[in-house]
Chains A and B, each alone.
Chain A
Amino acid sequence: MTTMTEELKEPNSQAAPTHATPKPQVAAGQAAKSVAGRVKIDVQNYSAWFREKRALYDVSLTMAEKEVTAIIGPSGCGKSTLIRAFNRMHETVAGARSEGRILMEGKDILGPRVDPVEVRRRIGMVFQKPSPFPTMSIFDNVAAGLRLNGMRDRRVLEGKVEWALHKAALWEEVKDGLHKAGAALSGGQQQRLCIARALAVDLDVLLMDEPCSALDPISTAKIEELILELKQNYTIVIVTHNMQQAARVSQRTAFMLNGKLIEYDETGKMFTNPSNKLTEDYITGRFG
């Protein structure tokens, strides 16, 4: 990863964020070291519908904390629907419904007494299209989530904003222009701004729905590097249609097809020796 970034370095970008511990090198093809941590997300027989059309069929899997889990599959396989279930965004669509349970650290987030606003505060999401709020400055964008929760103290806000921008590897590039419009940044910077915005509110889980689809290769590489950094503190779930990306950043990968979970395994094993024929067909490019 480091070599690739060095080769594709943007002329005026700063060096990789200062970091004491060496970044773990994960080369595609090698068995990824899976952090044997506690179960963070436990999906139990989850199904989802958009009105009459069924999108997910009894999906069950568990994700460990501080790991990156990738969800791959062809268009329409339900990977976005699944990830959007984790922060209860699925229900914001008119006519959407679901069955099953999704436990976060043991508690069912789909429970009747659970406030979706609470869930979304603890679980952040980055979307495919980088979407900093158009009328807000960089600072206001990052502070948005904090202000929603009542934080008013300017000094505290400034501290948190700086921390989040550092965490998202964007601080050096914007520190002199925090008052400038968020929309004035480049696509890759906007996406990192959205990541900072999500991180600012003390999350433990970060969901990423095809975060690099709309970005150029250099920005993509930067964000992938960022993901590998972030996983030291956060549980990350990333939906991607790019298998190589899944291989680069994730410890585990889930392969979905037509709303069903086909295979879920350690990334290294999944890409070199998949158990299911469908997985193998997809990975080798026979369809999708």
Chain B
Amino acid sequence: MARAEGRGGAPSGGMAAMAPRGSAETSLLTQVRGTLPGGRANARTVAALTENPGCTRRRVIDSAGIRADQLAKRTGHPTVRGQSPFAIASGTMFEWRLKEGTRYELLFEALKERFAFDAANSRVLDINRAPGKVGSEAWLIERARQTDVALAAMARGDSGAPNLVDHPVLMFDLAGVRMYLEPDALAFRIEDRLEVVEVKSYPVIDDQADPSKVASTAGQAAVYVLALRSAMERLGVNPDLVAWSAILIAPRNFSRQPTAHRIPLRKKASAISRVLASLPSTIKVLATLPKGFTLGPDVDPKRLTESTVQALGAIQALYVPECLASCDLAQFCRAEAILRDDVGRIGRLARDTLAGVASLSDVMRLAREPAGSGNGPSSDIAEALCAAGGALDRARSAAPASCGVNPAEEGRGRSRDGAGRKAAGRRTSDRARSTRR
């Protein structure tokens, strides 16, 4: 649940570190990170990446282990994100009651209610007790090792194997870069299946929860399932031992009592793994960048913003408004999209529908051009836009003046087109100026 609210339940902050395997890769990623503080990706960023796989910028940032919020701050478009202390308190309290507060009794009770979980013979292994400096990289790797040992024992069905592993650490390969993930818990069930348990603090009212939150949980849990399956393969165990689902533990109705629900994940997990499989390897992506490329240039603080913006400009982004909800750099990308008059700024649907039309000014121009004058790859879109423009003009002339649908400053048709051109011209010169600077 900690991660539900974007808060770390474990001292490591609930994040997963990325550690590339080869030293050449390490140095390349370190070079890209430059002077920026190291950040870590997690299951949610993996899931988010699969929602917008075309965004190279996001992937370079994730692969290089860059804190996107710090990067955003340097561009002059900081993301003001925060977490309400009340949300943290309620989330922590709920998880604490489930686990430490009741010695896992409440968690078992919730699991028992709907699933055949053997609470009487429960053996809990809290990986957080692993030796090492809390929050350090060494500790993380030690926890990952202990998780592997526990998983192997559980998979073999050893009599003394734990049936609930708390704070496990799973290894996951994202386009050739190793990441460490931390699910809330893994339970081993009687029916010989390994289950991922996710603790969330949003309520399930009358067996229904907020669909967008469940979708987000599902994305995250699907990454855990994939990580667990690859762990099984690594350990030489049949991965089908892992259930294609996750168990969601969340407060029931308006109380603090937990309830358990199963979230089916087969489709989501296959979709994510398909997208991940088609991602080009991160190293290949990095290789296309200029030599010595870095997002964290070591320059005079006065020139930091300028150099950072310039560096980011070298990596292609795919901005859609949905990014605002999930990416810290989205404010920067939006400003860039507006500057470029990019079609994506008004929505993903517009971007998809208007494939091939470069800018919104072009949209306006095409809508006013006589049909059939264009013959590029987007001529069918030009035709459709022209039909829309004609329909709009007819409608506006049919609407009574009292309705005030016509912008007062201008007439229809050509003059509006002229205004559009003027605006486009202004835009272009803006861009020219900004690149000169």
Partners in one complex: no
Q: Spell out A's residues near B (CB within 8 Å).
A: none
